[in-house]
C-alpha cells in the first residue's frame, strides 16, 4: 500500500542537476530532448521510427533468439522478441550491472519502472507495441562493485581474482556464498524459493552473464521483460560506423567536453569527464583502454598496438573486441534498439544529460530520460513504531544530527529555540548603534563586537540546552534513531544497501506484486510503501 510520497527535492539525496531536470529548469532544458510525459512520447515515437533502420531490427531479433537459446522463455517474453521485428514496436530500456543476486533493491525498481511505463504507453498509444528491456552491463570490469549483496545486515561477498569483462567470469566459487546464505535464510516456502533461485542461477550456469539472465528472467519473465547482452558480435557489427568515427575524429571527447564545461559554469557537478577515446579493447581476460599514440593506437598497459589502418581492419574483422565505455555505451544502446526512453537513477541520468550534443553530431535520436522509481519499504511493525513516536516519513530523510535535533525540539517540554531572544537582542542594539553614530567610529566598532559576542553566547546556550534535553530524553532519542537506522542503514537509502531477498523472504511474491501495483513511473516523487502480510 502506498503510504506517502516525498518530493525528491525534500529528501536530500538527489543532486541539483537532477532536481533542476525534474523542475524543467531553463538551465537544464538544452540537455535533453523531451521531458518524460505521456504526451511527449507521441513525437518521440515519430522521430525514432524515422531514425531507426529496419534491417537493424532483424539483426536484433536474431541475436536475442541466440542469446535466449538456453533459457526457458515466458509466453510474453517470446511474444515481445517477435514483436521487435515490427516497425510499430519500440523499447523502454533500463540497464544495470551484473550485481550478485541483483545487488541493491533498486535493481527491482528500475525494471518495474520500465515494465509499468510500457503498460501506460500501450494504453495511450494502442496502435503501437512497447517492450521493456533490461540491458545487462556484461562488459563492465568493476568486480568490486558487483561481488556482494547484503542480507539482514550481513554482507555476502564473492572473493576471487578477476580480469576482463565481468560477464565472462566463471561462477566458480559461488558455492561458498550459497552455503552461507543457506544458513541465514531460515525455513518456509519463500526461503526455499530464494535458495532455489540462487542455486539455479549461480551453481547451474557457467558464467555471470548466463546466471544474471536466468535470475532476471525468473523474476520478470512473466512481465515480458527482454534481456539484452550487448557483448555480441552481430550487434557490435551494427556499431562499426560509430566506432570508426570515435577512433578517427574523437567526436565524443569534443562534444561531451563542451557540455561538461557548460555544466561546471552553472555550478553543476560533472558526472563523467570524457577521454580522448572512449573505447576499451576486449579479449578473454582483458578489457583495457584504447589510447591514441604517435604511431596510431595502443591498448593501455599492454604490448598491443595498431596503425590507424590496422585498427580499422581489426574493427571490421573483430567488432566484438571493441567495447564502449560509460559515455559510448548509451550511444551503442540507442543504435541497436528501437528505444524511446532510458530509465535510470540520478547518477546515470546525470551522465546521460551530458550526451545530447554528441548524439546530434553522430545523427542518433536522443531518448527521453526518466528517473526511476525510488522506494522506501516500511514494514507494519516499523510503521506502528513511527506512529507511536509521532515521526513523519518526511523527517526520516533528515541526516541523523538534524533528525535528532529537530525531534528533541518538538517533544521537549521547554522551548529550546532562542530566536525570540535574538530578536530582542538585535532590537536593543539598534538603539546602541544610534548612540554610537553620534560619537566616534571606535565606539561603533565596540558596539558591533559586543553584539556579535552576545549573539554567539545565545547560540552556545541554545546548544547546551539542546544537549541537556537530549540526555533527559535519551530513551526517546534511542528509539527514534533505532527506527531510522532500520529504514536508512548506515545513514544511506534503503534501496542502495538492502537486497530484495530480505523482503522476499518475508513477503514472497507479494513484494513484486505490491511494487507493480503501487509504483507509477511518471509520478516523480519518492514513494513510501507499507508492506502488507
Residue 391 β-bridge partners: none
pTM of the model: 0.89
Cα 58 from Cα 80, distance rounded (Å): 14
CATH match for 1-374+494-533 among 3.40.50.720, 3.40.50.620, 3.30.70.580, 3.40.50.300: 3.40.50.620
How many other C-beta atoms are found inside a 10 Å radius of the C-beta of residue 434?
A: 10
pLDDT value of residue 456: 75
Burial class (CB in 10 A: 0-12, 13-18, 19+), 297: buried
Residue that has been written with the C-alpha cell 534481456 in this structure: 227
Per-residue pLDDT of the chain (533 residues; tens, 9 = 90+): 888 999 999 999 999 999 999 999 999 999 999 999 999 999 999 999 999 999 999 999 999 999 999 999 999 999 999 999 999 999 999 999 999 999 999 999 999 999 999 999 999 999 999 999 999 999 999 999 999 999 999 999 999 999 999 999 999 999 999 999 999 999 999 999 999 999 999 999 999 999 999 999 999 999 999 999 999 999 999 999 999 999 999 999 999 999 999 999 999 999 999 999 999 999 999 999 999 999 999 999 999 999 999 999 999 999 999 999 999 999 999 999 999 999 999 999 999 999 999 999 999 999 999 999 999 999 999 999 999 988 999 999 999 877 876 776 666 544 445 566 667 667 776 767 777 676 766 777 776 777 677 667 656 756 665 565 556 455 777 788 889 999 999 999 999 999 999 999 999 999 999 999 999 999 999 999 999 87
CA angle at 268 for the pair 262 and 269, rounded to the nearest 5°: 110
pLDDT value of residue 414: 46
Residue extents of the structural domains in the chain:
1-374+494-533
Quick one: which H or E segment has residue 149?
strand 148-151
pLDDT value of residue 67: 98
Beta sheet of 279-283, edge-to-edge order: 305-306, 296-299, 286-293, 279-283, 322-324
> Residue 101 contacts by C-beta under 8 Å, 6 or more apart in sequence?
149, 156, 198, 201, 202, 215, 499, 501
pLDDT value of residue 22: 98
Nearest-10 Cα torsion for 231, 236, 238, 244: 140
Amino acid at each position: 500500500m502506498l503510504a506517502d510520497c516525498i518530493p525528491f527535492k525534500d529528501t536530500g539525496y538527489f543532486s541539483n542537476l537532477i532536481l533542476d531536470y525534474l523542475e524543467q529548469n531553463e538551465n537544464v532544458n538544452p540537455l535533453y530532448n523531451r521531458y518524460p510525459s505521456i504526451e511527449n512520447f507521441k513525437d518521440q515515437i515519430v522521430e525514432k521510427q524515422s531514425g531507426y533502420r529496419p534491417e537493424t531490427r532483424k539483426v536484433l531479433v536474431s541475436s536475442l533468439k541466440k542469446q535466449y537459446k538456453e533459457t526457458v522463455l515466458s509466453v510474453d517474453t517470446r511474444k515481445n522478441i517477435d514483436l521487435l521485428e515490427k516497425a510499430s514496436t519500440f523499447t523502454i530500456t533500463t540497464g544495470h550491472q551484473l550485481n550478485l543476486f541483483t545487488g541493491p533493491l533498486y535493481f527491482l525498481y528500475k525494471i518495474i519502472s520500465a515494465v509499468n511505463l510500457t503498460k501506460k504507453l500501450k494504453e495511450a498509444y494502442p496502435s503501437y507495441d512497447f517492450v521493456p528491456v533490461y540491458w545487462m552491463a556484461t562488459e563492465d570490469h568493476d568486480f568490486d562493485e558487483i561481488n556482494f549483496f547484503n542480507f539482514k545486515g550481513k554482507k555476502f561477498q564473492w572473493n576471487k581474482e578477476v580480469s576482463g569483462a565481468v560477464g565472462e567470469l566463471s561462477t566458480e566459487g559461488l558455492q561458498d556464498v550459497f552455503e552461507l546464505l543457506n544458513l541465514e535464510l531460515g525455513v518456509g516456502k519463500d526461503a526455499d524459493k530464494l535458495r532455489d533461485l540462487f542455486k539455479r542461477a549461480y551453481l547451474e550456469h557457467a558464467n555471470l552473464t548466463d546466471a544474471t539472465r536466468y535470475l532476471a528472467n525468473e523474476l520478470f519473465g512473466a512481465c515480458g521483460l527482454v534481456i539484452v547482452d550487448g557483448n555480441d558480435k552481430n550487434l557490435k557489427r551494427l556499431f562499426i560506423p560509430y566506432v570508426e568515427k570515435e577512433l578517427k575524429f574523437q567526436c565524443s571527447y569534443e562534444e561531451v567536453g563542451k557540455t561538461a564545461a557548460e555544466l561546471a559554469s552553472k555550478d553543476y557537478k560533472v558526472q563523467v569527464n570524457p577521454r580522448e577515446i572512449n573505447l576499451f579493447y576486449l579479449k578473454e581476460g582483458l578489457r583495457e583502454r584504447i589510447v591514441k599514440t604517435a604511431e596510431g593506437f595502443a591498448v593501455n598497459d599492454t604490448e598491443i598496438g595498431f596503425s590507424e589502418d590496422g585498427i580499422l581492419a581489426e574493427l571490421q574483422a573483430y567488432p566484438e573486441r571493441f567495447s564502449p565505455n560509460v559515455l559510448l555505451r548509451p550511444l551503442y544502446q540507442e543504435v541497436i534498439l528501437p528505444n524511446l526512453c532510458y530509465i535510470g537513477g540520478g547518477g546515470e541520468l546525470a551522465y546521460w544529460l551530458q550526451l545530447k550534443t554528441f548524439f546530434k553530431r553522430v545523427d542518433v535520436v536522443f531518448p527521453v530520460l526518466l528517473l526511476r522509481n525510488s522506494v522506501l519499504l516500511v514494514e507494519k511493525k516499523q510503521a506502528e513504531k513511527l506512529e507511536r513516536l509521532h515521526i513523519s516519513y518526511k523527517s526520516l530523510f533528515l541526516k541523523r544530527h538534524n533528525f535528532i535535533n529537530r525531534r528533541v525540539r518538538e517533544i521537549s517540554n521547554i522551548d529550546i529555540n532562542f530566536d525570540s531572544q535574538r530578536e530582542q537582542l538585535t532590537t536593543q542594539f539598534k538603539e546602541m548603534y544610534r548612540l554610537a553614530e553620534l560619537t566616534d567610529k571606535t565606539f561603533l566598532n565596540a558596539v558591533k563586537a559586543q553584539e556579535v559576542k552576545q549573539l554567539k553566547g545565545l547560540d552556545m546556550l541554545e546548544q547546551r540546552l539542546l544537549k541537556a534535553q537530549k540526555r533527559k530524553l535519551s530513551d526517546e532519542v534511542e528509539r527514534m534513531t533505532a527506527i531510522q537506522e532500520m529504514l536508512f542503514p548506515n545513514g544511506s537509502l534503503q534501496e542502495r544497501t538492502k537486497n530484495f531477498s530480505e523482503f522476499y523472504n518475508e513477503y514472497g511474491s507479494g513484494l513484486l506484486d505490491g511494487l507493480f501495483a503501487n509504483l507509477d513511473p511518471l509520478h516523480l516523487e519518492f514513494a513510501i510503501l507499507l508492506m502488507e502480510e
